[in-house]
């Protein structure tokens, strides 16, 4: 799965939420300042070329819909992040989050419970 630029990812987030959309529908979901219509149409065309979107044609209008679901993209992106920045190690990810103070005590307790439950299921 090819990585997305920040602009492409922002468009995909909107299309995932809408499930299907015309360019103007996507544009209406953008915060101000909105990108020019033609710029947005170009980003959508790039997403289609990358295999993330397809469209149905109604006269001169294209209705776009995702070919890659959000969960599959999250999975791929997270695995790439772990591989590229954390040497492929979940332990390194958690260690980083602890050091950066991104996990609360409750988060840590919940993770410990998840690990215990996983151990019980694996036994």
Q: pTM for the full model?
A: 0.80
Residues 18-45: tens digit of each pLDDT? 999 999 999 999 999 999 999 999 999 9
Radius of gyration for the chain, computed over Cα atoms and rounded to the nearest angstrom: 19
Residue 68: strand, helix, or coil: coil
- Quick one: CA torsion of 80, 85, 86, 87, rounded to 10 degrees? 80
Who has greater pLDDT, 41 or 98? 41
CATH number of 1-87: 1.10.10.10
């Amino acid at each position: 799965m090819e990585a997305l630029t920040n602009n492409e990812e922002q468009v995909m987030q909107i299309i995932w939420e809408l499930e299907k959309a015309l360019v103007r529908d996507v544009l209406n979901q953008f915060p101000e300042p909105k990108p020019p219509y033609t710029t947005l149409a170009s980003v959508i065309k790039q997403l289609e070329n990358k295999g993330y979107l397809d469209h149905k044609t109604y006269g001169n209008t294209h209705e776009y819909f995702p070919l890659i679901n959000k969960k599959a993209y999250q999975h791929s992106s997270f695995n790439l992040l772990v591989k590229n920045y954390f040497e492929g190690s979940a332990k390194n990810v958690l260690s980083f989050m602890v050091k950066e103070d991104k996990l609360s005590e409750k988060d840590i307790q919940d993770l410990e419970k998840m690990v215990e439950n996983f151990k019980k299921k694996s036994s």
